[in-house]
Amino acid sequence: MPKLQLWGYRCERCGHDWLPREQEQEPRVCPKCKSPYWNQPRRALRQTQSAYKISQAHFISVEDYAAGYPAETVGHSLLVHADCFDWLSDIPEDSLHAIVTDPPYGVKEYEQEQLTKRKNGSGGIWRIPPSFDGSVRAPLPRFTALNERERVQLSHFFQKWAELSYRALRPGGHILIASNAFLSQLVFSALVAKGLEFRGEIIRLVRTFRGGDRPKNAEEEFPQVSSLPRSCYEPWGLFRKPMPRNMTVSQCLRKFGTGGLRRPHPEQPFSDVITSERTSQVEREIANHPSLKPQSFMRQLVHAVLPLGSGIIADPFMGSGSTVAAAEAMQLQCIGVERHLEYYELSKRAIPQLARLSVARILDSEPAQLTLQM
């Protein structure tokens, strides 16, 4: 049966479609809504279309973020073997939508000398603890071992990192950075000093083995004393690159795809307290990294930092890839950067396995189930 092709008009105001009686003369008004501006989009629509074109102009392929360093794609994401300071300097400005990362707070705990001591069980800055209640504790960096010079060094480290992260982020882009109660004030202050807006903290409620120990070498003498309180939470600093002057969040969302946080449920805002758990043994067997975070927690973070559900997340201190794996599980794009070859190679094997793990579907829960029970 032959097909006929008909040409008609559509009103940009009311959406009405019609076939004109006179083919050669353009209609003066819409026959339904009578608007003489039937062929001109509304101002809000024109603004949205313009913003969309601007956003498209910023888009580059995820493979382009390799920036000349050794790299490999895993699913939707990219793994880069590089020092993040060099990498952040080389990628395009205003190109990342968000950063989610767990950096080395002591700066030196991931130096090769300290990693070798940890591997050999000889300590160094890593505390090699005994078993506790039948559970063997993983080595933890001794943040209290940092002297004043090292604390100054730590501040300088994060100020430089903040400068480079500021350069790479789109306006309105968020940073979520893991910390601990002992050093968070120093690290967070360094980021604010370089122009990033402090937007609060995400509190991960989790009972760990950190802190609560009796005085070293005097446990029996002072059995009723703890040197530090037992840690039951982990603070994640929330920062944002400032939006252009006088720009609203809605305008930033239209132009850059940033500025806000994505809700876990249409009726439930993203909360700054998240009940979590220690990383499971299954995950640790997949990725043997000392600061591996659980997928159930990381998937909530990567979901939140892309308010429109698309864009590029970066983890400049990738480790074994828990952030990238969380993004893969949520069908999001992420770039993981790692300078230690051992962990870079581990991440290539671990990320697909971590991403396939089934965890509690918190993001699909009803709003009442997401409310913190005090």
Residue 288 has pLDDT above 70, yes or no: yes
Q: What's the pLDDT at 39?
A: 79
Q: Stretch 346-374: mean pLDDT, rounded?
A: 67
The Cα–Cα gap between 128 and 60 comes to 45
Residue 160: CB atoms within 10 A of its CB come to: 14
Question: Between 116 and 133, whose confidence is greater?
Answer: 116
Domain boundaries, the chain: 1-40, 50-106+146-370
Q: Stretch 263-289: mean pLDDT, rounded?
A: 92
Residue 26 has pLDDT above 80, yes or no: no
pLDDT tier at 110, thresholds 50, 70, 90: very low
Q: How far apart are the first and last CA of the chain?
A: 70
Question: Between 81 and 16, whose confidence is greater?
Answer: 81
Provide the CATH topology of domain 50-106+146-370.
Rossmann fold (3.40.50)
The two tokens of residue 296 are 């159930």
pLDDT tier at 42, thresholds 50, 70, 90: low
Q: What's the pLDDT at 144?
A: 53
The residues, any chain, with a CB within 8 Å of residue 176's CB and separated by 6 or more, are: 98, 99, 100, 101, 202, 236, 237, 238, 301, 304, 305
The 10s digit of each residue's pLDDT in 52-63 is: 333 443 446 777
Q: What's the pLDDT at 139?
A: 44
Q: What's the pLDDT at 11?
A: 82
